[in-house]
Structure 1
Amino acid sequence: MSHLYLLNHDKQIHVNIDEKIDLSHLFIAATYRQLVLASNSILTIYDLSSILLKEEFNNLYTTINIPNSILALTSTIDRIIYIYHSLDNPNELKICSIPSQQQEQSLIIESFDINEKIHLCSLDNGTIFIAYKSQIFSLNSDQWSFDSKIIKLCSGKEHMLILLFDGRVFSYGNGLHGALGHGDLEPCFQPTHIESLSNNVIDIAAGGWHSLALFSDGSVMSWGWNNDGALGLESSDNDDIGGVFCDPTLVTCIPIDIDCTYISAGARHSAFIGANDYVWLCGSNKHGQLGSLPSFSIEKRTSVYCLSWFTFLIIH
């Protein structure tokens, strides 16, 4: 049986899971104050305000039934966004947000294949991006095509990362915090290849204003805003390494002889899982999201999610 825990300073708080939620087939996201779990056609929403106020977590949740199976889930600082397949039109996707002052929106993709993965992300300004096969759609009419299939799409507060099947990474959005990885602070008004990265990236993660890339050799690079130390960089002479890193830089918080197997990024913190079943957490610990130790052992088949200002562990 799987269990979900919220990391909170020196505690791991057990989160009650609705019996209809399958943790082995789960979408998970968090706003600044809410945790959202989605499985099949069920959404469960938890209020995290008590954690922010350093009070006891009440573990209660609200359940929302969706008309069809949820295909993707994401969140911004204050919105939950999800997609499901229309019951009436085989080529139509329904895009909904909570809370919302508008009707649900629709996207038509001709010859849509339900077996193809849908990727979803959104910036804090409300722009929603949907990736399908080798295309990215946004609801403000922008559309981009790539010459390789999209493997992953993720976003921070003001930027988006795209990982292609051939290992290339593209970025888009505001560059003021260096999160685009192009060596400057300029914005990108269309997805642009991060040329300084080699083409053997196997995973990406977007924090609030920082970015991570995992390579097939087990190394990790990071770039963006490092004022809280979320980039996982260590200085041997205790120099201040805060500020902005505009170019991808090798993550050094993991011992050099340990391959990294997993990365995750929250608003101002990051997580790295090593092949030795240890997790390293770095960045802001304002709400206890780093726990009490910079690294600790985890059980095999444990997933770690950095979401907004929180860290969650799923033990399968």
Structure 2
Amino acid sequence: MFRIIFCLSLMMGSSAFAETLPRPALELPLSTKAIFLDLEVHEAKVYAVGERGIILSSSDNGDSWQQIKSPVDVTLTGISFASKTEGWIVGHESTILHSTDGGATWVVDNYKPEEERFYMSVNFVSPQVGYVLGTDGELWITENAGESWNVTLLAVEDWYQNHLFALEKVGNASLVVAERGGVFYSKDGMSDWQVVPSPYEGSFFGVSSVAEQFIAFGMSGNLYQINSESLEWSKIDTQTDQFLLDSATTADAKSVLIVGRGGIILAVDEKGQLIKKIENKSRVDYTAVAIQGDNAYLSSMAGGITKISISELME
């Protein structure tokens, strides 16, 4: 039986950062060698965010990268664009950055280091509606393009130990995955969040979708297809025990690439079948992946961003 989630009505106003002013990120000649935690493709450009507040963009399919001025020097964990011009970045120290010019420049929308709150990811699904996932079970939702945010606490038991990692939508439904097997579902993505019983107790680090089915992944190679209506689980045999950390849907929307530790790259098709498994000989730990046409961009703990051909990968 589902358990109803405890909801807390708190508000966070736009541009309400504390008197403590952030330090801007240094513009470094080796910024392209930094560790990046999220990648995003937007309007023919690729963006990367990561350690020390570094933001990069590429307008030539990843052949070269330019550092964008960043108003903070904290770790940035997620980036999402709400429209052609509106972009959002989140990170540590309760950081939210906002762009109104398609990612060319960024300003601080929220910065409160005294709260010791980390934001793990951001996902805007329309110009008005966006989600920020945080530590301690906090799911922040805006319905007015970031002018204000409401927070809901999603928790199975110990909310203060339940960090939320990712959110995915299929139609109007939303699925959030979290630490310690935490999975939460809402039919409208706004209210009535319910706990979905998980087949294993380990953390889920990400969730994607293909053919209107959720694909959730986490520790020790655990990978599942979840029916977006019945919420039935089907385990996908990954033939690996590596941690799976990020994913991206291919341009034809027929498969999902999933990456993780030990240089692992998995491809899952629309039927929920594993169709490709590759382990990079360097055993590098991949942190994020983004797809632009036939190109897949991969960031890793070794630093920097690598580009590979998906068609060649699938051969």
In the TM superposition, what whole-angstrom CA distance separates every residue of 1:37-94 from its partner, at most 9, and x where no partner exists?
A: 224233211126xxxxxxxx47234431112125332224755421468xxxxx8744
Distance 1:247 1:104, change over 3 A: farther
In the TM superposition, what whole-angstrom CA distance separates every residue of 1:242-285 from its partner, at most 9, and x where no partner exists?
A: xx885222114x34xx435315321333234688865322348x
Instruction: Pick one of 197, 212, 233 that aligns with 1:248.
Output: 233
Partners in 1 of 2:205 and 2:91 — Cα distance? 24
In the TM superposition, what whole-angstrom CA distance separates every residue of 1:169-217 from its partner, at most 9, and x where no partner exists?
A: 1134xxxxxxxxxxxxx43432633424235131232325543333556
| Aligned residue in 1 for 2:165 | 153
Distance 1:100 1:139, change over 3 A: farther
In the TM superposition, what whole-angstrom CA distance separates every residue of 1:1-58 from its partner, at most 9, and x where no partner exists?
A: xxxxxxxxxxxxxxxx96124433544333363211224233211126xxxxxxxx47
| Aligned residue in 2 for 1:220 | 223
Distance 1:206 1:168, change over 3 A: closer
1:279 aligns with 2:265: yes
1:19 aligns with 2:16: no
Contact 1:81-1:98 at 8 Å conserved across structures: no
| Aligned residue in 2 for 1:266 | 248
Runs of 4+ more than 6 Å apart: none
1:117 aligns with 2:118: yes
Give the counterpart letter for 1:142 in structure 2: N
Give structure 1 stretches of 5+ with no counterpart: 1-16, 49-56, 86-90, 173-185, 226-243, 285-289
TM-score (ref. length: structure 1): 0.60
> Within 5 Å, which residues of 2 pair with 1:193-204?
193-198=194-199, 200-204=201-205
RMSD of aligned alpha carbons: 4.1
1:45 aligns with 2:57: yes
Contact 2:87-2:102 at 8 Å conserved across structures: no
Distance 1:215 1:262, change over 3 A: closer
Aligned residues: 244
> Within 5 Å, which residues of 2 pair with 1:30-69?
30-31=41-42, 33-39=44-50, 40-47=52-59, 57=61, 59-69=63-73
Give the counterpart letter for 2:68 in structure 1: I
Partners in 2 of 1:275 and 1:65 — Cα distance? 30
Distance 1:98 1:261, change over 3 A: same
Partners in 2 of 1:72 and 1:301 — Cα distance? 19
Instruction: Pick one of 261, 267, 284 that aligns with 1:301.
Output: 284
Instruction: Pick one of 66, 82, 94 that aligns with 2:89.
Output: 82
Instruction: Pick one of 96, 99, 111 that aligns with 1:97.
Output: 99
Contact 1:302-1:313 at 8 Å conserved across structures: no
Alpha-carbon distance, 1:96 to partner: 0.5
| Aligned residue in 2 for 1:137 | 140
Partners in 2 of 1:214 and 1:132 — Cα distance? 18
Give the counterpart letter for 2:233 in structure 1: P
Alpha-carbon distance, 1:150 to partner: 3.7
TM-score (ref. length: structure 2): 0.60
Instruction: Pick one of 285, 297, 304 that aligns with 1:312.
Output: 297
Partners in 2 of 1:129 and 1:95 — Cα distance? 14
Partners in 2 of 1:191 and 1:104 — Cα distance? 33
Contact 2:31-2:54 at 8 Å conserved across structures: yes
Partners in 1 of 2:216 and 2:43 — Cα distance? 24
Contact 2:247-2:258 at 8 Å conserved across structures: no
Give structure 2 stretches of 5+ with no counterpart: 1-27, 144-148, 303-315
Distance 1:18 1:281, change over 3 A: farther
Partners in 2 of 1:276 and 1:69 — Cα distance? 28
| Aligned residue in 2 for 1:167 | 181
Partners in 2 of 1:144 and 1:270 — Cα distance? 29
Distance 1:169 1:32, change over 3 A: farther
SS at match of 1:271: strand
